[in-house]
Amino acid sequence: MSSGLAYFITLVVVYILVVWGALIPFRAGLLYNGTVYVMAIGGYTAGFLSKTIGLNFWLCIIAAIITGLIFGFIPALGFSRTNGIVTAISSMALIFIIQSIIKNISFLGGTRGLRGIQKVPALPWFALIILVVFGAFLYRLFNSRIGRAWEAIATDPQMAQTLGVDTKRMTIVALTLSSVFAAVGGAVFAFNIRVIYPGTFSFTFLLNVMTMLFVGGRFTQWGVIISAPLLWSINVYMPESVQKLSNYIFAGLLIIVLMLRPEGLVTRKMVLQIKKFFTGLFHRNTETA
């Protein structure tokens, strides 16, 4: 595998993981922008451990999961009290808080960035393994009791509460799990680019994540698998003149999709039809009977 392709694949996996992190709160009817904040924490944890102690890749990922759990849980406690716009905006503030904290901590490199993260030769394959594992976990999660509870909250919080769903606890669970996805994404990201700056985890990154989420379709987990490689290839495989315009293209696409196709590229109906087609292939006799 050429190094360019390996870089591309790993970065797309990172984006898919982070977008899944943003998708989980969306299932519970929340727009949570704290994913980039946890991504910074996961990335810096993995990078720091790899640089100073020399931990190997998988241990760094586990460390990122643990820190993601902790640092996702703390704000989640607060955000369980709020909803809608308030959560969306105040979680955006987390990005600025973490940037300014990292800038002031000298052993993380401050504004000069964290350098000297170990090179992992088989990174794209590891990333794909992580993607499959987390994707399967997410699929089971969305079809579990918790997933159904989230959907009930997203449809109508008051009704969900009447039916016995603990909305506060479910919100905390959603935000914490979303943080784990984002932290793992951040760790893989750190191993991929190997020099991380506080400015990397910025507002533009959030816009990329949001564009992939909304263009792909925010009601299923499959949309982003199509949208992330497509959108990121604009930045890599297009001619120079188009690459310069990538931010305009991202923002423009986001606006157009939000206005004209609110469900995104892959809709729930489409997934249902595909499912029906495949079950029809295997159980043709039972269906006609």
| Cβ proximity of 195 and 115 under 8 Å | yes
* Identified binder of another protein from the candidate list 86, 132, 159, 163, rule CB under 8 A: 86
**258 belongs to the binding site for another protein (CB under 8 A):** yes
Contacting another protein (CB under 8 A), which of 70, 101, 163, 272? Answer: 101
Binding mask 173-212 for another protein (x = CB under 8 A): ------------------------------xx-xx--xx-
- Tell me whether residue 241 is exposed, middle or buried, using C-beta atoms within 10 angstroms of its C-beta: 0 to 12, 13 to 18, 19 or more: exposed
Please give the size of the binding site for another protein, defined by CB under 8 A: 41
Query: Does residue 119 come out as left (phi exceeding 0), alpha (psi in the -120 to 50 range) or beta?
Result: beta
- Spacing of C-alpha 284 from chain mean position: 38
Q: Which of 55, 83, 125, 135 binds another protein (CB under 8 A)?
A: 83
Residue type, 203: F
Q: Interface with another protein includes 73 (CB under 8 A)?
A: no
C-beta neighbour count of 186 within 10 angstroms: 33
Answer for which of 6, 66, 69, 82 binds another protein (CB under 8 A) is 82
Give 22 or 114: the residue with its C-beta nearer to another protein. Answer: 22
* Separation of alpha carbons 46 and 185, rounded Å: 11
Query: Nearer Cβ to another protein, position 59 or 101?
Result: 101
Say if CB 213 and CB 40 are below 8 A apart. Answer: no
Q: Is 22 in the site for another protein (CB under 8 A)?
A: no
238 sits near another protein (criterion: CB under 8 A): no
CB atoms within 10 A of CB 215: 25
Q: What is the DSSP string of 198-264?
A: GGGSSHHHHHHHHHHHHHH-SSSSSHHHHHHHHHHHHHHTS-HHHHHTHHHHHHHHHHHHHHH-TT-
Q: Is 118 in the site for another protein (CB under 8 A)?
A: no
Residues that bind another protein (CB under 8 A): 31, 78-79, 81-86, 88-90, 92-94, 96-97, 99-101, 103-104, 203-204, 206-207, 210-211, 214, 244, 247-248, 250-252, 254-255, 258-260, 262
